[in-house]
Structure 1
Amino acid sequence: MNNFDEIQKLSKDNMELAMETMGSVSKGFQAIAAEVADYQKKSFEEGAAAVEKLVSTKSPDKAFEAQADYMKTTYEGFVGEMTKLGEMFTDLSKDAYKPYESMFGKMTK
């Protein structure tokens, strides 16, 4: 009977860990989705502004300059956003692992 109680407690503990992990993973993915949506909106607005600027230029030199500025800004923004998303995924992994740290600590003792 004692083993059954231990198995039941272990099962309950594992379920609690799984639920805690799923909660943190869900929050992490929601934050990532919000960040991606914000970046897409910002990117679209910047693209529309660049097209307006490009259309309103009077000379080919100014058009090339406007396009080069837009491409540089877009590239820098993209690299920055991917770095931020990478950090968010790293934090998500760490948060998902946290509930299991104590369990793995008990197993190594």
Structure 2
Amino acid sequence: MNIRLDTMQGFNKDGLDATMKSFGAVSQSVQAIAAEAVDYSKKSFEQGTQVLEKILGAKSLDTALELQSDYLKASYESFIAQSNRMSELYADLAKEIYKPFEGFVGKMPTVPFAGQQASS
């Protein structure tokens, strides 16, 4: 069976180009996700440390409980906002991974080895 190499080479080149673009997008997106996670962790740790210092310096139990309650509310809201941000980053990552492959399937022939005769 003879394979049309010119057709196969074109698909291989297009596929390789799309794959390389996809890897580049993955690299950039993963770096953005990692930077976002590090930034959030740093801010969260700093806020927690500040609140702990305030709680330890509180003059009354009521003040300490109020500080803790306010921190928990703010922390929860910050976590939800960060979760939404990370979801957006991961959705963007998925889009960027597949963007180079758009239209690639449409270029494939309906009969991969057109013009070839089946060997008996």
Same fold (TM over 0.5): yes
The whole-number CA distance in structure 2 between the counterparts of 1:2 and 1:83 is 49
Q: How many residues align?
A: 109
**Unpaired segments ≥5 residues, structure 1:** none
The whole-number CA distance in structure 2 between the counterparts of 1:77 and 1:43 is 9
The whole-number CA distance in structure 1 between the counterparts of 2:66 and 2:109 is 62
Alpha-carbon RMSD across the aligned residues, in angstroms, is: 1.8
Ranked by relative contact order (alpha carbons within 8 Å, sequence separation 6 or more), the top structure is 2
- Structure number with larger C-alpha Rg: 2
**Unpaired segments ≥5 residues, structure 2:** 111-120
Q: Deviations over 1:40-68 (max 9, x none)?
A: 00001000000011011000000000000
Matched, 1:60 2:61: yes
The whole-number CA distance in structure 2 between the counterparts of 1:13 and 1:6 is 11
The offset of 1:2, in angstroms, is: 8.0
The whole-number CA distance in structure 1 between the counterparts of 2:22 and 2:82 is 26
Q: Which residue of 2 aligns with 1:24?
A: 25
Pair 1:107–1:2, CA change in 2 (3 A)? closer
Q: Which residue of 1 aligns with 2:97?
A: 96
Q: Which residue of 2 aligns with 1:39?
A: 40
Pair 1:108–1:57, CA change in 2 (3 A)? farther
The offset of 1:5, in angstroms, is: 1.5
Matched, 1:78 2:70: no
The whole-number CA distance in structure 2 between the counterparts of 1:5 and 1:83 is 47
The whole-number CA distance in structure 1 between the counterparts of 2:108 and 2:70 is 57
Runs of 4+ in 1 over 6 A off after TM superposition: none
Which structure has more helix as a fraction of its residues?
1
**TM-score normalised according to structure 2 size:** 0.85
